[in-house]
Chain A
């Protein structure tokens, strides 16, 4: 057994096991953490296949953004997961049936799957340019040349999303004290400190 195969079984086994733990864990925060572990293992599988760009994107997007978002939601919304699980045994027959049907379908699809032998021999990213390029380089070469139009429109879409989020949620609340640095810096001793001569036994007007 080669090292690559060993790593494959390690990553694949861990991915399946943590996937199971996502639905089995009692604490939702633990579930999300197992989900992150599953993503990281899937990224490991991508690295083994030579798709290092996809692996890093998986970490950045799914672990960095999506899973953290889940974690925020789970922690901020007080969802009672114990109550959600209440009818588990009651719904098991129906759920199990749907799961079984789905599993059989998947097995049928995967079982009858045939790949074009040409595809197996020439991984996409490297064949296109003839030279030995990494995936990232190959993507970079087309992203700003062949696909510059799509790239720029995608940028505009993100701009719209940003403006939209601000338009719909940002409010100027009255009565909020904000820090004004220029005012703070412009304060002099005379503005900040008042020296009063207090006569004995008379006090001061505040």
Chain B
């Protein structure tokens, strides 16, 4: 027998995941012991756990592969994990007040968010197809449950069911693609696939990559696998929608980059056309389909579809600069989305939430700061300098032009002009329409998230260097 030391893998790189898992188990025990009274304390506990893990992740350095090659901790994984943790922590901050008022504040919710976060971190660190799939499943399963968390609400249960059925289908496609990739390369590990792929890709492998791309596109909510997004976003409780639009997007993007850049860097020609098509279709649908939307949650759903399209431009470039663009885009997208949802969660009058564009009318006169923040988010989403959204788009477009994808960049610019129409319409409604009765006070959690994201979006242009440097080192670790 081999000595035990050689059998035990190095677990320090996995410490953040272990801390979160143990914490989640303790919270489950605490919640089960204290019953429904523990909703407040589990919320705080989960928030503390996520913040602690964030500092653990940030304090790690270097690139390590462990657990028999299934897990990789590199700068890219760390940046994405930090984003995921910020998204999850912000969601918990945003949720508390809403869930209390809707009388669905149960202790399982923060626990499910933590478990979902573990899944997302596994996805960001996946170095083979099995850990990728397991992380994805852990994330998705928790997401299905929290989509249906308002179980007495027809729309919420519908959203959960729809998400579950379509999500299971897409997992099936991803698995089928993975099995083909395994069959034609003989290995599941990403570095193994890279070494196995010398020469042109065989037909079976191409088929496998197509299926994997389909599964991944579903998780990203990219066209043509976006159909579920508006319904699920509209039906889920609003804080859950904020969650879906933030942290899981980061994880899905991390997973996409890991698969295509990590496992198939030498067959770029095979997947580049898929990504280019998905990117163009997402940008176009994100801008045109959102024009007719009156519901703010559906609008944000289409906006997120469009934004995924822009981020994918960077991946389509397939270069180090492109990935740097993707990372920067995701950071800024996270700030803009969380900010917009923080405003959405503040529109409450006498225990009723307001969700349509008309409910925003005259917000600038009743709530000037709220209106200013939302206007900043919208200008930023439309890509108007000097707000952060402009730089996000700038970096991916620049990478695309360097990679000779000028058409893609031009289409991106055109669709972002179209998208500006519906973003700026919100600003017009807030600033130039007749005001309605004022809303209730902004819940403290939303106020914190809104303030933080506004600062990032408005002041990013003053000190962009730390983020650009972090994204640069993240992209470097993949090539």
* Extra pairs beyond A157-B134, A157-B138, A159-B115 (14, CB < 8 Å): A149-B70, A153-B119, A156-B138, A160-B141, A163-B112, A163-B145, A164-B112, A164-B141, A164-B142, A164-B145, A166-B108, A167-B145, A167-B149, A168-B145
- Option from A145, A149, A154, A160 in Cβ contact (under 8 Å) with B145: A160
For A159, the chain B residues whose CB sits under 8 A away are 24-25, 28, 115
Instruction: Report how many residues on chain A are interfacial, defined by Cβ distance under 8 Å.
Output: 19
Given contacts A149-B131, A168-B148, contact A160 B112 (CB under 8 A): yes
B260 at the interface (CB under 8 A from A): no
Q: CB distance B141 to A153 under 8 Å?
A: no
A101 at the interface (CB under 8 A from B): no
B38 at the interface (CB under 8 A from A): no
Q: CB distance A167 to B108 under 8 Å?
A: yes
For B118, the chain A residues whose CB sits under 8 A away are 156
- Option from B7, B112, B122, B144 in Cβ contact (under 8 Å) with A153: B122
Residue positions of A touching B, CB distance < 8 A? 145-150, 152-154, 156-157, 159-161, 163-164, 166-168
In angstroms, Cα B139 to Cα A160, docked, is 9
Chain B, 1-45, CB within 8 A of any chain A CB = 7, 9, 14, 21, 24-25, 28
In angstroms, Cα B32 to Cα A166, docked, is 11
For B122, the chain A residues whose CB sits under 8 A away are 153
Look across to chain B and name the residue whose beta carbon is closest to the beta carbon of A151. B134
Given contacts A156-B115, A164-B145, A167-B108, contact A146 B134 (CB under 8 A): no
Pair count A-B, CB < 8 A: 68
- Option from A148, A163, A168 in Cβ contact (under 8 Å) with B9: A148
Q: CB distance A153 to B67 under 8 Å?
A: no
Given contacts A149-B70, A149-B71, A156-B118, contact A163 B138 (CB under 8 A): no
In angstroms, Cα B14 to Cα A150, docked, is 13
Interface of A, secondary structure class, is helix
For A152, the chain B residues whose CB sits under 8 A away are 21
Chain B, 160-201, CB within 8 A of any chain A CB = 160
B236, chain A: closest CB distance, angstroms: 14
A-B contact pairs, 27 of them (CB 8 A): A145-B7, A147-B68, A148-B9, A149-B14, A150-B130, A150-B131, A153-B119, A153-B122, A156-B21, A156-B119, A157-B137, A159-B25, A159-B28, A159-B115, A160-B115, A160-B138, A160-B145, A161-B141, A163-B108, A163-B112, A163-B145, A164-B141, A164-B142, A167-B106, A167-B112, A167-B149, A167-B151
Q: CB distance B131 to A153 under 8 Å?
A: yes
Q: CB distance B134 to A150 under 8 Å?
A: yes
B340, chain A: closest CB distance, angstroms: 28
In angstroms, Cα B138 to Cα A19, docked, is 35
In angstroms, Cα B119 to Cα A161, docked, is 13
A158, chain B: closest CB distance, angstroms: 9
For B71, the chain A residues whose CB sits under 8 A away are 149
For B141, the chain A residues whose CB sits under 8 A away are 157, 160-161, 164
A96, chain B: closest CB distance, angstroms: 28
B135 at the interface (CB under 8 A from A): yes
In angstroms, Cα B116 to Cα A163, docked, is 12
A29, chain B: closest CB distance, angstroms: 28
B111 at the interface (CB under 8 A from A): yes
In angstroms, Cα B25 to Cα A164, docked, is 14
A130, chain B: closest CB distance, angstroms: 13
B29, chain A: closest CB distance, angstroms: 12
Q: CB distance B68 to A149 under 8 Å?
A: yes
